[in-house]
Amino acid sequence: MKNQPSGDPAAAARTLLTIVDSAEPPLRVLFGQGFYPMIQQVYADRLKTWADGQDLSAASHG
């Protein structure tokens, strides 16, 4: 991941308080910029790996 500048701690605190005060808070939140595209790629890679092995998965069922 590219070197990202540090975020504003006050903005992170406000965001955290918004989450805490939410009626239905998300289970997971990525704080900062740049993390979403990185995680999106990681999961796309995992999905491809699982899809590529789908025949093995089915064969293991019997």
Residue listed under structure tokens 């903005």: 11
- With bands split at pLDDT 50, 70 and 90, how would you rate the model's confidence at 1? low
Give the whole-angstrom CA distance, residue 47 versus residue 59. 18
Q: Whole-model pTM?
A: 0.60
**What are 56's two structure tokens?**
């093995």
- With contact defined as beta carbons under 8 Å apart, do 15 and 31 qualify? yes
Decide if pLDDT at 53 tops 80. yes
pLDDT score for 9: 93
What is the predicted pLDDT for the residue at 25?
A: 96
pLDDT tens-digit series, residues 5-22: 788 999 999 999 999 999
Give the pLDDT of residue 43.
Answer: 96
